[in-house]
Structures are given as structure tokens and as C-alpha cells.
């Protein structure tokens, strides 16, 4: 059964969601991310997804206090990303209680750094976040487009021990219009050794069932939970 990983995106210490990665189209869902995390915990969730959107924009984690509160205030394992551009940011995230750290833009800008972190911490602790727009990877809080295709990016890090990738289709993100099932299916066929986590577009339980039927092992879900499209408690059980 596919694992549901509920998401909290943070701007200014508040729980928000963007639409298609647009900072100008954000909606605040809670003033207190810890309360949201406790709700996830009450639903039986074990792993949650926390993105520091301020950090992604300024290239340095800006909401480590939120991570620390959730990690110390719940039993949840927290995967954390946003602004992870140097070794200090990685160690700071782990010090604040991250279970694993998501690295995105640095995979394009400084691949040797990401390779070194994979070798130092291992594939269970360092996750690649590949945010895709029209088949190409976007970087720096999705504000810039690289010239690198997602397959080429993944191939770079297999020798260093990459084991998990979270792939977000930016065009689908926050739209509740259905995930890119074919994208995930093709990546899993090309990279059967990787855990390919889906992200973006989930708007109903039928979307999750479609990903499950395709063999996707896990999916990050955000807006659909906040908008009441998915009953998290029922989905996790």
C-alpha cells in the first residue's frame, strides 16, 4: 500500500500552500504548524514533509525553529527541505531534528556537494528533491529553470548512493487536478533501484489509488488535506 506523507510548507512561521510554486499565490492554512503536525500524528502518520519556502527563496534555512518544535513536540519523523545549499545547512537541519534532509537546487548548482553528502550520511538520510517543469528541473524555490532533464539528474547521483527521490510536477502542484502518473511510471521503469516519491496534483483518494496501482511507493499530499478533499485519518488507516 502506498505511503501518504502529509506536507507542511512554511512562510514566516505559518503553514501555507502555494499554487504551481508561485509565491504570489499563497494561502495561509494555519498560524501554528505544530498544531498541524500534531493533527497528522493523531491520524497515525509516521513521516511528514516540511518545506521551508522562505529558506528556498533566500538559499539558507529560515524556519529551523519550526522544524525543532515539530521534531521535539511530536513523535513524527520529519523530512526537511528548503535552502539546503551548504554543509552547514545540512548539519543544522539534522541538529534541529530532521529525520532526513531534502536537497534540490544544489543537485544542479553543486553536484559534487550533494554527492559528498550522500556518501557521508547515506541514501536514507539525504533525499533528492527534483522539481520538474516541462521535463526540466527547476531550482531556487522553483523561480529558475535549469537545462537539466530529470533522468539525467538522477543518473548523476546513483554512484554516490542515491536511494530516494521526491519528484514534483510543478504544473500540477496545488491544482488538485491529478498527479503525473505517467511521469512516475516512466521514472520507476528507468530507475527501479530508486524509491520514487510522487508530489503534486493529488486532489482525491482516486488519485492516490491511481498512484498505488502504478506501483508508486509513497506520495506527498498537502492541499488536498487542507481543503478537505482527503480524509487523512481514513487514508492512513
> How much is the pLDDT for 173?
84
> How much is the pLDDT for 160?
98
Domain span at residue 209 reads 3-236
Give the rounded distance of the alpha carbon of 90 from its chain centre: 15
> How much is the pLDDT for 210?
98
pLDDT tens series, the chain, 237 aa: 999 999 999 999 999 998 888 888 999 999 999 999 999 999 999 999 999 999 999 999 999 999 999 999 999 999 999 999 999 999 999 999 999 999 999 999 999 999 999 999 999 999 999 999 988 998 876 777 888 999 999 999 999 999 999 999 988 888 899 999 999 999 999 999 999 999 999 999 999 999 999 999 999 999 999 999 999 999 997
> How much is the pLDDT for 139?
83
88 class by beta-carbon count within 10 Å (0-12 exposed, 13-18 middle, 19+ buried): exposed
Active centre residues (catalytic): 9, 131
pTM of whole model > 0.75? yes
**Cα(134)–Cα(149) distance, integer angstroms:** 9
Task: State the total domains in the chain.
Answer: 1
CATH value at residue 15: 3.20.20.70
Pairing of strands 144-149, 218-221: unpaired
The DSSP result for 51-97, as a single string, is: EEHHHHHHTS---HHHHHHHHHHSS-EEEEESS--SHHHHHHHHHTT
Amino acid at each position: 500500500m502506498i505511503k501518504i506523507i502529509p506536507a507542511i510548507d512554511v512562510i514566516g512561521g505559518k503553514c501555507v500552500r502555494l499554487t504551481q510554486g508561485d509565491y504570489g499565490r499563497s494561502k495561509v492554512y494555519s498560524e501554528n504548524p505544530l498544531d498541524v503536525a500534531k493533527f497528522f500524528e493523531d491520524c497515525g502518520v509516521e513521516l511528514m514533509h516540511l518545506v521551508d519556502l522562505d529558506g528556498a527563496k533566500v538559499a539558507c534555512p529560515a524556519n529551523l525553529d519550526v522544524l525543532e518544535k515539530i521534531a521535539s513536540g511530536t513523535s513524527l519523523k520529519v523530512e526537511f527541505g528548503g535552502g539546503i545549499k551548504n554543509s552547514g545547512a545540512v548539519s543544522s537541519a539534522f541538529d534541529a531534528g530532521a529525520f532526513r534532509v531534502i536537497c534540490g537546487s544544489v543537485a544542479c548548482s553543486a553536484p559534487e556537494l550533494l554527492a559528498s553528502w550522500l556518501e557521508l550520511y547515506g541514501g536514507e538520510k539525504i533525499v533528492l528533491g527534483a522539481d520538474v517543469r516541462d521535463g526540466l528541473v527547476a531550482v531556487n524555490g522553483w523561480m529558475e529553470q535549469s537545462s537539466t532533464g530529470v533522468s539525467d539528474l538522477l543518473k548523476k547521483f546513483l554512484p554516490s548512493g542515491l536511494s530516494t527521490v521526491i519528484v514534483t510536477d510543478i504544473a500540477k502542484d496545488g491544482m488538485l487536478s491529478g498527479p503525473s502518473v505517467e511521469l512516475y511510471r516512466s521514472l520507476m521503469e528507468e530507475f527501479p533501484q530508486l524509491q520514487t516519491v510522487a508530489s503534486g496534483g493529488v486532489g482525491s483518494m482516486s488519485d492516490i489509488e491511481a498512484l498505488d496501482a502504478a506501483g508508486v511507493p509513497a506520495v506527498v499530499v498537502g492541499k488536498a488535506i487542507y481543503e478537505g478533499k482527503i480524509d487523512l485519518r481514513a487514508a492512513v488507516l
